[in-house]
């Protein structure tokens, strides 16, 4: 993964310093390959049109990765900067992988209670029904009925 990130950074840097005076295509990868004379301008424009017709899968993959590894909603912001979903490019559909960043996000989600089925008494651990950890419990021990606390 580090190699891929390094190669992509080098590709972006070299495309940036090669000058923006003449662009072969509106897409980054097709434009870079055209500037490196790997493909010609017509092929670059055709590749960019095909990418737009397919619904911009590269941008949507990047957006999904941003949502997963950076922060929820970062992918939506990336798609907005690329003009995807706003109608400014040929694809007017939003990514199914990205949540709507305009929707209110919960500030904090309470954790689910941990459940345990062991009652810890002064004489040991005894099995019982699943109950939230920390709740008082009673267990039948060889020394009679004893109180304790539920643990995992």
pLDDT tens digits along 89-140:
434 344 555 556 676 766 777 777 899 999 999 999 999 999 999 999 999 9
Looking at residue 108, its pLDDT comes to 78
In a shared domain, residues 119 and 77: no
Q: How does pLDDT run across 25-80, given as a tens digit for each residue? A: 777 777 778 888 888 888 888 888 888 888 888 888 888 888 888 888 888 888 88
Which of 82, 104, 133 lies at the terminal end of a domain, its last residue? Answer: 82
Which of 63, 82, 101 lies at the terminal end of a domain, its last residue? Answer: 82
In a shared domain, residues 77 and 119: no
- Work out the angle at residue 42's Cα, subtended by the Cα atoms of residues 38 and 47, and round it to the nearest 5 degrees: 75
The alpha-helical segments, DSSP class H, found in 38-148 are 41-53, 57-69, 74-82
* Closest residue by Cα to residue 149 from 112, 125, 140, 111: 125
Q: Is residue 105, in this structure, part of any structural domain at all? A: no
Rounded to the nearest 5°, which phi and psi values hold at 41?
A: -65, -40
What's the structural domain count of the chain? Answer: 2
In a shared domain, residues 8 and 69: yes
Looking at residue 90, its pLDDT comes to 38
Q: Which residues of 112-144 are buried (b: 16+ CB within 10 A; e: fewer)?
A: eeeebbbbbbeeeebebeebeeeeebebeeeee
Q: How far is CA 100 from CA 58, 61, 80, 97, in A?
A: 19, 16, 11, 10
In a shared domain, residues 78 and 139: no
Which of 33, 66, 82 lies at the terminal end of a domain, its last residue? Answer: 82
Q: What is the mean predicted confidence (pLDDT) over 17-27?
A: 61
* Closest residue by Cα to residue 26 from 121, 100, 91: 91
């Amino acid at each position: 993964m580090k190699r891929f990130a390094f190669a992509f950074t080098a590709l972006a840097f070299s495309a940036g310093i090669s000058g923006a005076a003449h662009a072969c295509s509106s897409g980054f990868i097709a434009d870079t390959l055209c500037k490196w004379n790997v493909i010609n301008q017509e092929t670059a424009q055709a590749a960019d049109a095909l990418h737009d017709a397919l619904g911009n899968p590269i941008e949507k993959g990047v957006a999904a990765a941003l949502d997963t590894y950076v922060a929820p909603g970062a992918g939506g912001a990336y798609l907005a900067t690329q003009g995807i979903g706003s109608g400014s490019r040929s694809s007017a559909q939003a990514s199914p992988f990205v949540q709507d960043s305009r929707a209110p996000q919960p500030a904090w989600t309470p954790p689910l209670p941990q459940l345990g089925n062991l009652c810890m008494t002064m004489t040991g651990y005894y099995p019982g029904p699943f109950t939230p950890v920390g709740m008082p419990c009673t267990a039948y021990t060889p020394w009679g009925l004893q109180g304790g606390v539920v643990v995992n």
